[in-house]
Structure 1
Amino acid sequence: MTDTFSQGPDLAMGVPSGDIPEGGMLAGHVGDRAVLLARTSGGLYAVGAECTHYHGPLAEGLIVGDTVRCPWHHARFCLKTGEALGAPAIDPIACWTVEERDGQVRVTSQAAETPRPSPREAAQKRVVIIGGGAAGFAAAERLRRDGFAGDIIMLSADSDPPYDRPNCSKDYLAGKAPQEWMPLRDAGFYAQNRIDLRLGAQVERFDPAARTVLVKGGETLAYDTLILATGAEPQRPPIPGLDGPDVYLLRTLKDADTIIAAAERAKGAAVIGASFIGLEVAASLRQRGLEVHVVAPESVPLEKVMGGELGAWVKGVHEAEGVVFHLGRKVLGYAGGQVTMDQGEPIRADFVVVGAGVRPRVALAEAAGLKVDNGVVVDDRLRTSADGVYAVGDIARYPDPVSGDLVRIEHWVHAERQGQHVARLILGEDAPFDDPPFFWSHHYDKGVNYSGHAEGFDPPEIDGSLAREDAIVRFRRGGKLLAVATVNRDLDSLKAEEAFEKG
């Protein structure tokens, strides 16, 4: 997409050198193109001023070394080349020619695109990826972007090519994001880049000793490297009526379309579970004008993840928009358009969405004899217990460099970055995966950014005011900082992520 933002100074006319100090940035324009000036490590750079993921304003982000990071979703770009170095952005930002003379800085012209690397031979001639979500796509895309010349086969059980899964519960479900926003790449990308994407593919098993994958239908595929990116599946509680036709799970784009169709003919809905997905679904359905009830066993939503104060704030955001909570309640069943609970009157609901968490899809790994413990156990290079097999995304349980714990992270950006890291390892790099986890959760026009990972923590420390929607929440365990959540403090969120990277 082309930036058409035209606020700030006309950089073609020039600005004083002092307006861009070391480590500083200045947003302006050249004609109708938004351009960002940045000075770092003695260099002066001019690049596109908007993130290529969802047009976040890079001038409000953070310079780290010779990169600039987006304040919204923490995408990373190289200031020298414009390349997207870290998910969720994939496309580069434009680069411009800049000159500094007589105390003035002037942007002169747009630079030519950085050429793609020459094809690179690797010891691995064929990479097979099981899974077509964030991690699998990111691995395949990065391999080709970095010049991998071998075969890439992606076996996806989904019926759609890789898409922006977080939007399935956010703007797309709310009716604010059109269908064309959802694919991560257009239909021609896979053929043009020799990525053999097979949709609706069911893998029956793989054999690490023989290095083969058996696909349903009888085809056997040999591989040099296998990437397991099977993701997670939503849980359906064994409660009477929750297996009925008006009860939905949300994981895929097809699921989202099914819920949208149900919402268009309904007046009210119930969401079972106050998880991030459940609450985002509640917000999206409210924005479609439905009466929405949320039923969950906990007394405060998200308390185990973000603490009581932040969880109560999120609950208040939803209540202000008309969502009705039934907390501390157990669902007994759904029948005749009513959700019955262990306490209180039944809830009238034309349909139900279950948001009761997910479980990792590890059956293939278990059958192949890989080490499995609440996910597929991997080392700091995301290698499984079988030679030539990596695991990435929701299924990977890896050593967290901050806490030292084995952790399994269910975040979109983290899954993409794991896939990208494995691609680099296949091409010869040798470095541990140490990116801090990051996710964002939006509820109406309000959101929370979260960097790090804390499965257990002391009472959170809050700087600022949640009531004023301006706060930093720090999560420690035994005095060690494990995670930071922010509300309307995007720059602080980026700084926290950088601090975790530095250890």
Structure 2
Amino acid sequence: MAEDHTKLNGPDLAEGIALSDLSDGGKLVGHCGDEQVLLVRRGAEVFAIGATCTHYGGPLVDGLVVEDAVRCPWHHACFDLRTGEALRAPAFNPLACWSVEQRDGRIFVGEKRKRTPPKQRDGGSGQIPEKIVIVGGGAAGFAAAEKLRREHYQGSIVMFSNDEAPPVDRPNLSKDYLAGKAPEDWIPLRTEGFYSKNDIDLRLNANVASIDARSGEVVLADGARIPYDRLLLATGAEPVRLTIPGADQPHVHTLRSFADCKAIIAQAATARRAIVLGASFIGLEVAAALRSRDIEVHVVAPEKRPMERVLGPQMGDFIRALHEENGVVFHLEDTASSIDGKKVKLSSGDTLAGDFVVAGIGVRPRTGLAETAGLILDRGVVVNAFLETSVPGIFAAGDIARWPDPHSGENIRVEHWVVAERQGRTAALNMLGHGEKFVAVPFFWSQHYDVPINYVGHAAQWDEIAVDGDIAAKDCLLRFKREGRTLAIASIFRDTESLKAEVEMERQIT
């Protein structure tokens, strides 16, 4: 995740390179001073920007240039070539930019340009709200607050979170941080000073009891009433809790919050064996992270294959084999029926011993506030293309939102981190009256040991999976099709093709 400055690659761009060394549409990495710089040529123009994505440090030279922007090959962040501005989550920080001069058939990179804040866009329709309240301290809530201030919104922002920690990089909690490969200072999305500096009233450990849509107020558990002109519901999802006997013991964990992750890490410090219930993305990422800590891991799940519902049978078999190669023991087509101390009894009658248990058996959207406020629900909070709910002035984003997806032609709800961040940004614009439809193609990634799986689009059902490449060789792209039309793509080490698939899906949106 951090850029390594110890070794500089490529030519010294201050001394210049031949223009002929950079073809139209081409990219080249060099350095200027002690920093890596990416050159991108677009026709007669040449741009010089930071060489690595500000999200996790992905190499932008391996990304895709689309119009005047470059997309990261790892997690599909997007940056403006002219300004370095982070245009799409999961990146929020801009790239550095350098001045470029062309003379005598050569390209020279000069001084780093002073950063200028993004220009304020033309005013939206209607009156700018004086008070915006955000309920939720996850991906969507954070992204909305950040975007509001980046759009020069001057009004009040109050953000309620029932978590004890400021917004964190939740995907890392089941990946590198849980594996012991990422320091704690990588986890907050922003330092605590960010919120005070940007006049965002972040209230942690805050429990919102109800929403009074008629009076335009949020009612807290202590009875306090906070008025709003626009409201964003970004309450996210909560883990499905085990209801079997013994599930309430302190060594039985779920993983959603920073505190949850720390509790698992503390338990792992002295443990020899763990039992993971569930072969979902979270469950198996936890399994991989715990194996990195040399803990014996047993996975219990009711499915015949891991992740088959989302990725299909071939990828499911591959994921199982990958985890087995790394020492994970599977107990599939089975479930836990009770937990007695360190013994987990299975429905098959078998018993497993483990020092602790992690339950990753799914999540549920937290729609209680929306329901009591009288919003229309359909397995989530129903929103229109602008992410506004059935009650004017109340918006919803993230895991709770069911929106009209222009690519699939269906109303969908997905529980993806990047989608939540992108929806938070779009909701922010629409609370300011900009009337921007949410048309982003869904994207998520999952990490298992050294194998990343990227997924673009959304395919709840398919009638064909077309496989290009070799799944077992970790070099493949799978197209999930229905009636001949590609709805989603999953890939392993096919980053450029994954980005091109995203662009193709975007262009199909009418």
- Shorter-chain TM-score bucket reads over 0.9
TM-score for the superposition, normalised by structure 1: 0.98
Q: Which residue of 1 aligns with 2:359?
A: 354
TM-score for the superposition, normalised by structure 2: 0.96
The AA in structure 2 aligned to 1:174 is A
Tell me if 1:336 matches 2:336.
no
Asked if structure 2 preserves the Cα contact closer than 8 Å seen for 1:77 and 1:93, the reply is: yes
1:379-418 matched pairs, under 5 angstroms? 379-418=384-423
Asked if structure 1 preserves the Cα contact closer than 8 Å seen for 2:338 and 2:346, the reply is: yes
Q: Which residue of 2 aligns with 1:221?
A: 226
Deviation at 1:365, TM superposition (A): 0.3
Asked if structure 1 preserves the Cα contact closer than 8 Å seen for 2:3 and 2:52, the reply is: no
The secondary structure found in structure 1 opposite 2:364 is strand
Deviation at 1:427, TM superposition (A): 3.0
Q: Which residue of 2 aligns with 1:149?
A: 154
The secondary structure found in structure 1 opposite 2:191 is coil
Q: Which residue of 2 aligns with 1:466?
A: 471
Mark the CA change 1:425 to 1:41 in structure 2 (over 3 Å): closer, same or farther.
farther
Q: Which residue of 2 aligns with 1:96?
A: 98
Deviation at 1:117, TM superposition (A): 4.4
Asked if structure 2 preserves the Cα contact closer than 8 Å seen for 1:120 and 1:149, the reply is: no
Q: Distance in 1 between matches of 2:93 and 2:202?
A: 20
Deviation at 1:3, TM superposition (A): 6.6
Mark the CA change 1:125 to 1:181 in structure 2 (over 3 Å): closer, same or farther.
same
Deviation at 1:41, TM superposition (A): 5.2
Deviation at 1:330, TM superposition (A): 2.4
Asked if structure 2 preserves the Cα contact closer than 8 Å seen for 1:3 and 1:34, the reply is: no
Number of residues paired by the alignment?
503
1:431 to 431, 436, 460: 436
Q: Distance in 1 between matches of 2:178 and 2:92?
A: 23
Q: Name the Cα RMSD after superposition.
A: 1.4
Q: Which residue of 1 aligns with 2:53?
A: 51
Q: Distance in 2 between matches of 1:2 and 1:107?
A: 20
Asked if structure 2 preserves the Cα contact closer than 8 Å seen for 1:49 and 1:58, the reply is: yes
Q: Distance in 2 between matches of 1:400 and 1:18?
A: 43
Q: Which residue of 2 aligns with 1:494?
A: 499
Tell me if 1:13 matches 2:15.
yes
Q: Distance in 1 between matches of 2:452 and 2:405?
A: 25
Q: Distance in 1 between matches of 2:495 and 2:82?
A: 24
Deviation at 1:95, TM superposition (A): 0.4
The AA in structure 2 aligned to 1:125 is E
Structure 2 unaligned residues grouped into runs of 5+ = none
- Encode CA deviations 1:383-429: one digit per residue, 9 max, x unaligned: 10001000000000011111111111101111000001111223332
Q: Distance in 2 between matches of 1:219 and 1:368?
A: 17
Q: Which residue of 1 aligns with 2:298?
A: 293
Q: Which residue of 2 aligns with 1:28?
A: 30
Q: Which residue of 2 aligns with 1:130?
A: 135
Stretch deviating more after TM superposition (420-429 or 73-82): 420-429
Q: Which residue of 2 aligns with 1:454?
A: 459
Q: Distance in 2 between matches of 1:501 and 1:55?
A: 25
Deviation at 1:234, TM superposition (A): 0.4
The AA in structure 1 aligned to 2:319 is V
Asked if structure 2 preserves the Cα contact closer than 8 Å seen for 1:130 and 1:154, the reply is: yes
The secondary structure found in structure 2 opposite 1:82 is coil
1:364-379 matched pairs, under 5 angstroms? 364-379=369-384
2:186 to 181, 199, 203: 181
Q: Distance in 1 between matches of 2:93 and 2:488?
A: 29
Deviation at 1:31, TM superposition (A): 2.0
Q: Distance in 2 between matches of 1:315 and 1:306?
A: 12
Identity over aligned residues, as a percent?
Answer: 53
1:47-126 matched pairs, under 5 angstroms? 47-115=49-117, 117=119, 123-126=128-131
Runs of 4+ in 1 over 6 A off after TM superposition: 118-121
Stretch deviating more after TM superposition (310-319 or 359-368): 310-319
Q: Which residue of 2 aligns with 1:485?
A: 490
The secondary structure found in structure 1 opposite 2:215 is coil
The AA in structure 2 aligned to 1:329 is D
The AA in structure 2 aligned to 1:101 is R
Asked if structure 1 preserves the Cα contact closer than 8 Å seen for 2:429 and 2:436, the reply is: no
The AA in structure 1 aligned to 2:128 is A
Stretch deviating more after TM superposition (20-29 or 58-67): 20-29
- Encode CA deviations 1:329-359: one digit per residue, 9 max, x unaligned: 1221111311111226311111110000000
Asked if structure 1 preserves the Cα contact closer than 8 Å seen for 2:393 and 2:431, the reply is: no
Q: Distance in 1 between matches of 2:350 and 2:192?
A: 49
Deviation at 1:433, TM superposition (A): 0.3
Asked if structure 1 preserves the Cα contact closer than 8 Å seen for 2:37 and 2:49, the reply is: yes
The secondary structure found in structure 2 opposite 1:318 is helix
